[in-house]
Structure 1
Amino acid sequence: MTHDAGRVPPVPEHLVIKVTHRDDPVSAVTEHDAWEAVDAFPYVAGIGPVFGCAEEFRGRWRILTLGDGFPQMARDSLGAHFRLMAKEADDTGDAATAAELMAAALRLDWEVVDELTVARRRFRIIRADQFTRMGDDGPEPPRPTDPDTESSGGSRPSSRRTKGFVIDPTAATAVSDGLLRLELLPLVYRSAAVPHAVRADSLKALETHPGGVLLPTEFAVAEEAGGRWQPMAAAGPAPQSARDTLAYYFREMGPRILRLDPAEQAQFARAADRLDADRCDEVAVLGRRFRVVRVQQLIRVGPDGPESPRPSDYDPYPPSEVQAQQLREEGVLDADEE
């Protein structure tokens, strides 16, 4: 029997998962930590989506921003990016390009637009799903091999690791990451947990964007409440950035919001000091339990690139100028106010 290789259709790029094995000591330890995490935290829980914007780059898509809670926030970020690009173009004497970029920024002030081609460059609002691994005692904390070189106190906040990340489904990945992609890609929202439209959109995404790319791991703060763990703060680029967020809550925000008495404030302050001194990933104070947790991020991809916001994604605010106009009509803003 002969085999005609010419009749075998190639695998579409967005469905490729290229796995490679690395023999260096760091990779070996990282893989060991990943396998241990699967045993200790065998379940995967969805946290919800985040949004950002990306630019088509040499046949791929490059992330400009990611981490916004609503699609409109990402559109606002893209508008700000266009304004910066317009200034750069104007500074170099390219008035035509500057005008086109400013027109795109002004359009985003008024319209809900998730994709634009501006100055011969293609931009898109993107969404990524967030997950954390769960075990019997809650969500997975940082692993020993996770980069954690920041000093405490937030004096030098690090940039998001996703900034500039190129979404390439064909890029080689470690064995554990390849298996994690296979684990995450089929996941959809359970019908009992979400509205019908949300589940329907997650099922549709399996068809329109069946591939996926893992983004750099980020870290967030979760709190145990009533036997369940709930996200408390948005994810950041490193374990220390999550600790700094929690310490700031203990020192500044918590005492004001909760109107703590001096003794309670002192307990919160000691918890913040412990986070700074010990770089610990879990702390209990005033009967509350907090943990720094790992957040895995997956961006779904299809034949035409990364997934955009879904119709059912929570998006409570209109574009900025539309919102301002509504406030003027309601008498909240003066009609002549900028």
Structure 2
Amino acid sequence: MDDDWRRRIAQVQAELVRGGDPVAWVTEADAVEGAMRYRGLAVRGALFGVAAREVGGAGPWRLVVPVRAGMPQESRDGLQSLLFFRAKDDTDDPAVRRELIAAVRVLEREPVDEIDVLGVRYRVVRADEFARSGDDGCLEPPRPTDPEPVFRVWEGRSAVPDPDVDVVLDPERSRGPMAEAMRFGLRSFHYGAERYPAAVRADSERAVGTHPDIALLPVRFGVVERTGETWEPHDSLLPTPHEARRSLYEDMIRTWPLVHRWSARECEPYRRAAELFRAAGRADVARVRGREFRIFRAERMVRFGPDGPEGPRPSDVDEYGPPKLHPTMDEDGTLRQSDDPAAT
């Protein structure tokens, strides 16, 4: 560890002591215990979102589209929708709407990773997702200090806000001594295993030099299923441990029976397992018919260079091109299903 990082961690430790916040102390103790019990890192791969800042400004980059997409194009789609609904719902100024619509039309036809709109620069950003793993290969479960809703709802729509929205991407933001140590350790991280294609490994190694700093994103949670010696992720990452538990409950009791067209007899063991899992409240393991599911804790990092957060790499692959997601909009806000001005 170089002297700059030693000073940085010492500074964060001093701030923690000076602050006298018992919650911060308990959270840091949890982080220490987690690092001791789960000493390995299991890397899942890349995720993408969209960050924004003023053009030419010195202000911070803030997330406007959560970092949870598996492909860059999904995040471009999210940006297209964000700008479309701003044009539709957030302005009555034809000039403002005209510029928003122009950007939407670019995103409908071009896989752009950066675009300036109304003095704001939007950039598709790339993150790496990883989880801590123990000597037994199990991924780290939620910690006692991880966020949980006051009232746990198991059915209906979730009202939990996404922790990524408006979060500041800042490598210098203090998150505690253990987080600083993690950031230091991740600076040299790159894909080295032979299971990654050569182009992916080369891009990853290059990024260590071009984007050497690290910003950590809010923790998220998901569901994995044991498959032999490995764990297979289910669904997307969610804001709280309870949302991940709720997702697993919904899968067992509703989604999988519909998708697989199970008979009532096939559904019954999953229904029983789901209700036992729900009754436990904060369980992190569910087993049914020889299958084992676990709730796990996922961490994400965004690399930073002199120009800000890293965007997609040449080896990041899209499975489809830019789509037209919304009706055509005129500068007065009129929506048309066709690009033909004469169409109704």
1:80-127 deviations in whole A, cap 9, x for unaligned?
Answer: 111122234542xx2112101101001100001000111111111111
By how many angstroms is 1:173 displaced?
Answer: 2.4
Indicate whether 1:44 and 2:41 are aligned. yes
Contact 2:39 2:135 survives alignment (8 Å): no
Indicate whether 1:167 and 2:169 are aligned. yes
Contact 1:89 1:97 survives alignment (8 Å): no
Equivalent in the alignment of 1:327: none
Indicate whether 1:27 and 2:41 are aligned. no
Equivalent in the alignment of 1:5: none
Equivalent in the alignment of 1:99: 98
| Structure 2 residue matching 1:56: 3-state secondary structure | strand
Equivalent in the alignment of 1:121: 120
Measure, in 2, the Cα distance between the counterparts of 1:246 and 1:227: 21
1:100-159 deviations in whole A, cap 9, x for unaligned?
Answer: 110100110000100011111111111111110001331000011111125131543312
Measure, in 2, the Cα distance between the counterparts of 1:173 and 1:146: 14
Measure, in 2, the Cα distance between the counterparts of 1:173 and 1:248: 34
Taking structure 1 as reference, are residues 265 and 118 closer, same or farther at Cα in structure 2, changes over 3 Å only? Answer: same
Contact 1:264 1:286 survives alignment (8 Å): no
Equivalent in the alignment of 1:63: 63
Equivalent in the alignment of 1:109: 108
What are the within-5 Å matches in structure 2 for residues 148-227 of structure 1?
148-149=148-149, 150-155=151-156, 156-227=158-229
Measure, in 2, the Cα distance between the counterparts of 1:292 and 1:154: 18
By how many angstroms is 1:212 displaced?
Answer: 1.0
1:233-278 deviations in whole A, cap 9, x for unaligned?
Answer: 2110000110111111101221233343323311111222123221
| Structure 2 residue matching 1:162: 3-state secondary structure | coil
Equivalent in the alignment of 1:143: 143
Measure, in 2, the Cα distance between the counterparts of 1:181 and 1:83: 36
1:31-58 deviations in whole A, cap 9, x for unaligned?
Answer: 1111111111100111111111111155
Measure, in 2, the Cα distance between the counterparts of 1:89 and 1:271: 46
Contact 2:245 2:295 survives alignment (8 Å): yes
Equivalent in the alignment of 2:286: 283
State the one-letter code of the partner of 1:216.
P
The TM-score, its normalising length taken from structure 1, stands at: 0.86
By how many angstroms is 1:319 displaced?
Answer: 0.5
Contact 1:152 1:276 survives alignment (8 Å): no
Equivalent in the alignment of 2:81: 80
CA RMSD of the aligned region, Å? 2.2
| Structure 1 residue matching 2:218: 3-state secondary structure | strand
Indicate whether 1:248 and 2:250 are aligned. yes
| Structure 1 residue matching 2:221: 3-state secondary structure | strand
State the one-letter code of the partner of 1:69.
G
Contact 1:154 1:241 survives alignment (8 Å): no
Measure, in 1, the Cα distance between the counterparts of 2:187 and 2:269: 43
By how many angstroms is 1:193 displaced?
Answer: 1.5
Q: Judge which range, 159-168 or 269-278, deviates more.
A: 269-278
State the one-letter code of the partner of 1:78.
L
Contact 1:89 1:98 survives alignment (8 Å): no
Percent identity, please. Answer: 39
Measure, in 1, the Cα distance between the counterparts of 2:317 and 2:270: 33
State the one-letter code of the partner of 1:173.
R
Contact 2:40 2:135 survives alignment (8 Å): no
Structure 1: 5+ residue stretches without partners: 1-10, 323-335
State the one-letter code of the partner of 1:133.
R
| Structure 1 residue matching 2:194: 3-state secondary structure | coil
Measure, in 2, the Cα distance between the counterparts of 1:136 and 1:250: 29
State the one-letter code of the partner of 1:185.
R
State the one-letter code of the partner of 1:140.
E
By how many angstroms is 1:321 displaced?
Answer: 4.2
| Structure 1 residue matching 2:243: 3-state secondary structure | helix
Taking structure 1 as reference, are residues 154 and 218 closer, same or farther at Cα in structure 2, changes over 3 Å only? Answer: farther
| Structure 2 residue matching 1:230: 3-state secondary structure | strand
Measure, in 1, the Cα distance between the counterparts of 2:260 and 2:82: 37
Measure, in 2, the Cα distance between the counterparts of 1:145 and 1:132: 17
Measure, in 2, the Cα distance between the counterparts of 1:128 and 1:154: 31
Structure 2: 5+ residue stretches without partners: 326-339
Measure, in 2, the Cα distance between the counterparts of 1:27 and 1:34: 10
By how many angstroms is 1:207 displaced?
Answer: 1.1
